[in-house]
Amino acid sequence: MALQQIIQHPTGTYSQYWKIRSVTLNHTEGTGSITIDGYVSQQAREDGKIPLDNRTVAVSDYATWFAPTVIDVAGMNEVKAGYLFLKSISGGEFQGSTDV
């Protein structure tokens, strides 16, 4: 899974294929972060090209998206929850993005 969202990099180039690189969670403190890499295309990522861009987003609602009771639901894991969380951020860069 990945997200399709066209976002311009400060250099003027565009990334449109976004893949989560890492989800880091602190279950004791209920905090975490998600790092997502942006590529020019899915093919570029599959070809082993380096990402054009990346974002690190702080987990703002751990209990809703990443608590063990949420992750234990059939078919849910930290990465899938990470994509759903990124898309849910009101006014965020990935709101309205498409799953690919």
Q: How do residues 12-39 score in pLDDT, each as one tens digit?
A: 999 999 999 999 999 999 999 999 999 9
The amino acid present at 29, given as its one-letter code, is E
Reference 54, options 76, 25, 86, 32; nearest CA is 86
Region of poorest pLDDT, from 71-75, 85-89, 95-99: 71-75
Q: What is the pLDDT of residues 39-71, one digit of tens each?
A: 999 999 999 999 999 999 999 999 999 999 999
**pLDDT at site 37:** 98
SS3 7: strand
Q: Are 69 and 79 in contact (CB under 8 A)?
A: no
Stated pTM of the model:
0.92
